[in-house]
Structure 1
């Protein structure tokens, strides 16, 4: 593994455990046992590290969405799997979501990209819902405005469930992922042709 990759892995671990405000490039370098100069050869400042980690998160989400758009019949198990995989990814990069507003203000490029991403994701989700309707998983009588609201609900829960967890249950790892992905999964109950599939 090269030094640049090690920096990113170490930074992710430290940001996840201690947040973005307390961790400097010196902390990351010390954790790795390298000089700050060596670290700055690869990344000029910590914002560049954060931006790179955000870009990786975005690419990993793209891969999940791409699998969602693959042809073939979709059933409730596909939705459950996509939900779980998304929450696992959020947990992997949890520092971003726990400090999202602050990071967006600190690194305007992240805020700009996130806005563009949500616009793109909205269209992808709406197309996915239409496929669920045509495949007989979702009811066909759901108004477009209700599906639009469902997309917003998914964004709110998906992006901010970690904050709720930190303030309330304080679940860790797979327990946190399982609990909160199940909460989002249950959002689909009113839209299903056969709600018994959720049990």
Structure 2
């Protein structure tokens, strides 16, 4: 692992453990046993480190969603697997979503990138749900705004489950990921036909 990658991993560990308020570039450098100058050679500001970690998170999520999209025969079970894998990625970068409103204000570029990502994801989910209605997996008769509300609910669970967990159950690792995968499944349940439920 090169120095840049080590900086990102060390910063990720410290941010996840102690949050973004108390950790500075000097803390990260000290944890690594390098000089602050060496760290700043790779990342001028701590916000650059946070941005790089956000981009790594976004890339991981893009790769997972691409896998779902590539499966033309994607079933509800596949989406549930995607959800579980997504929660694992989000847990790995959990400090971002535990501090996301503040990070968005502090680093406007991240807020802008997130807004673009959400719009793209909305289209992807709506496209998938439309296909499921055609295949008899999702119940028909739901107006488009109702399906759009389901997408919003998916984002609410995806973006805020970490804060909910931190304030309530305080589950760790795979236990947390499984618990909120179950919550995700509950969102889909009312929309699934008998055929869809069998595929779940």
Instruction: Provide the residue aligned with 2:146 in structure 1.
Output: 146
Q: 3-state SS of the aligned residue for 2:70?
A: coil
TM-score by length of 2: 0.95
Aligned partners of 1:49 and 1:196: how far apart in 2?
A: 43
Instruction: Provide the residue aligned with 2:105 in structure 1.
Output: 105
Instruction: Provide the residue aligned with 2:198 in structure 1.
Output: 197
Alpha carbons 1:76, 1:197 under 8 Å: kept: no
> Is it true that 1:135 corresponds to 2:143 in the alignment?
no
Q: 3-state SS of the aligned residue for 1:171?
A: coil
Aligned partners of 1:127 and 1:137: how far apart in 2?
A: 13
> Is it true that 1:34 corresponds to 2:34 in the alignment?
yes
Q: CA deviation at 1:196?
A: 4.5
Deviations 1:45-85 (A, max 9, x none): 10000000001111111111111111431222201101101
Instruction: Provide the residue aligned with 1:81 in structure 2.
Output: 81
Q: CA deviation at 1:120?
A: 1.1
Deviations 1:104-123 (A, max 9, x none): 01101001111111111111
CA RMSD of aligned residues (A): 1.3
Q: How many residues align?
A: 199
Q: CA deviation at 1:176?
A: 0.6
Aligned partners of 1:189 and 1:81: how far apart in 2?
A: 15
Over 3 Å counting, the alpha-carbon distance change for 1:135 and 1:196 in structure 2 is closer
Instruction: Provide the residue aligned with 2:58 in structure 1.
Output: 58
Tell me, which stretches of 5 or more residues in structure 2 are unaligned?
A: none
Aligned partners of 1:169 and 1:133: how far apart in 2?
A: 35
Alpha carbons 1:68, 1:128 under 8 Å: kept: no
Instruction: Provide the residue aligned with 1:160 in structure 2.
Output: 160
